[in-house]
Structure 1
Amino acid sequence: MKALVAVKRVIDYNVKPRLKSDGSGVDLTNVKMSINPFDEIAVEEAIRLKEAGKVSEVVLVSIGSSKSEETIRTGLAMGADRGILVNTGDPAIEPLAVAKILKSIAESEQVGIVIVGKQAIDDDCNQTGQMLSALLDWPQGTFASVVDIQSADKVLVTREIDGGLQTLELDLPAVVTTDLRLNEPRFASLPNIMKAKKKPVSKVSLADLGLPENFIEPRLIVQKTEAPEVRQAGVKVADAAELIDKLRNEAGVL
């Protein structure tokens, strides 16, 4: 069984984003980029399933400019087998378009399971996995904290819900989205980083997938981007009596 994992190139989570001067979006000039952390968890889980003999091949796919090949190479250095780069240029692509592209690849590759991060840290949409499941008409297990493939046609997914944990038995093929508690991604060793440079990465266009060039045009228009308000500094109080006084007379919460 093949496992397909989607990986996205995003601003590194340690970097504080800055806005463009005209407020049209986030300035990416000379900003460190890396693999989306939730996608890195998805890659790690697929590799573990392969190491356990449950998956025969791990295929990575990234959608974006040629720079996204670096993101694929990161996953290959962790242990994935090969990659597919769908070159769509630099414009940001909305989740529905991403889901339709992944649907085309999942069908052509005849994969048994698709594993994606539950969301990307740049837009926090949390939509792609669910949309992909609907387009493929496959069952889905979202926010997975445990993924256990029982057989060639069954997988158990434990997911976190408001009331605790829920375990679902899904028919394969299925779509799974990963949560933070699923695993801790490994560090790629230097030998594996060198090996990753020789692993195959196929480069395809929208035309190769049978999709029109205007397919990725956004349906939503961002009018303006603003930074959040700076949080005001707090104050120290000498004792509980002063705290009660400030809560009553200044904050008005008592």
Structure 2
Amino acid sequence: MTVPQHSTSAGAPAFDATTGYWQEIVGADALSVPLNPPYARGYPARLPDGRYLVLPLRGVPGDPERCVASLIANHAGLDVVDALAGFMAERARAFGAEMVVGLPTLGLAFAPMVARGLGFTRYVPFGYSRKYWYDERLAVPVRSLTTPDAGKLLYVDPNLAESLAGRRVLVVDDAVSTGQTMVSALELLARCGAEVAGIVVAMCQGERWRERLVDAQGAPIPVACAFESPRMRRVAGGWAPETA
């Protein structure tokens, strides 16, 4: 894979442009990056069927010694999104959910297909855009690793919120890393009177999310994913998974 290299600031590591990424799932014999660290610019994420999706590396804001693998679902090939959603639905089946909620923005690329894969005919989308009939009591602030600026609110349409009350809900998103976005979603679901059956994402990144994703009694909320990717640190020759 030959693509342009981008660097965001002087002295920062160069990373690839993402145009050629997320477009195909390949076997180990067709990988364009090393299977083992150190990684230079791409990380081979292993999928449940033994194939790989190569993810571009991206720097962590404010820390030139750390990077993470990136998945942008609405830039991905349709076959890739279909495959990941299939893995997500299969792994979430055991949660016994009665309703699916999709989180913006990139979780909405997966939520409809996960819902269909579980036998549902609809799902409930959360969003960042406020319609004039929305209720401010059904809005919570949200931040994330990739969008750290404060001030964004997560909304649910009041007409849809009623369908969540008293239901076991599966939450669908593209990834979980720090868990900040998911905590906001859990708060909004609590305001709707929903019970969280579990969470399913395409990518579980690192381990930092685990301490945040707990229920009111402090018990871990079930989380499933199509694949895992580590947070990484700079080493000789590139990047390697950071130790816990």
TM range (shorter): 0.3 to 0.5
More helix by share: 1
- The TM-score, its normalising length taken from structure 1, stands at 0.33
Higher RCO (C-alpha 8 Å, min separation 6): 1
Which structure has the bigger radius of gyration?
Answer: 1
